[in-house]
């Protein structure tokens, strides 16, 4: 299961920066990888995955569940769209692990510590809202 083209997942924790045009990367993942680089780079992304993994272990879920829960815990968010590919990466059972718990204040602070080191605000100003990069 993964978010951000599959990068927000346990399988990427501790991994070397992927080669952009390797057989391992899909065109979609190349786009997400370029976004990760612009956001703060692979080393900072690894720090984020490390924090998300610690939180995931606390709740006995996966990194992807923590990332999804982080979004859902904003009071103005009513739903998230989880990208899946039927027969390839559905992960229905794991997606359900996102529900029944919430991030506590300590979890939020741990995530914010990493996010504050990124270029997220600058990226939002350039990209605007979701889908703005396609206009």
In a domain, 76, yes or no: yes
In a domain, 79, yes or no: yes
For residue 50, give its domain range.
Answer: 10-127
Q: pLDDT by residue (tens digit) across 67-99? A: 999 999 999 998 888 766 655 555 667 888 899
Q: pLDDT by residue (tens digit) across 2-34? A: 478 789 999 999 999 998 887 778 888 888 899
In a domain, 4, yes or no: no
State how many domains the chain has: 1
In a domain, 58, yes or no: yes
pTM score of the predicted model: 0.84
CA dist., res. 125 & res. 135, Å (int): 14
In a domain, 55, yes or no: yes
In a domain, 52, yes or no: yes
In a domain, 2, yes or no: no
CA dist., res. 114 & res. 41, Å (int): 12
């Amino acid at each position: 299961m993964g978010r951000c083209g599959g990068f927000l997942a346990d399988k990427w924790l501790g991994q070397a920066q992927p080669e952009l045009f390797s057989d391992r990367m899909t065109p979609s993942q190349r786009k997400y990888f370029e976004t990760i680089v612009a956001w703060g780079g692979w080393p900072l992304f690894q720090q984020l995955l490390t924090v998300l993994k610690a939180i995931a272990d606390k709740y006995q879920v996966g990194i992807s569940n923590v990332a999804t829960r982080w979004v859902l815990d904003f009071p103005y968010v009513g739903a998230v769209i989880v990208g899946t590919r039927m027969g390839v990466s559905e992960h229905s059972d794991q997606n359900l692990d996102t529900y029944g718990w919430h991030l506590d204040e300590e979890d939020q602070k741990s995530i914010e510590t990493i996010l504050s080191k990124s270029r997220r605000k600058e990226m939002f100003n350039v990209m605007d809202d979701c889908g703005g990069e396609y206009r």
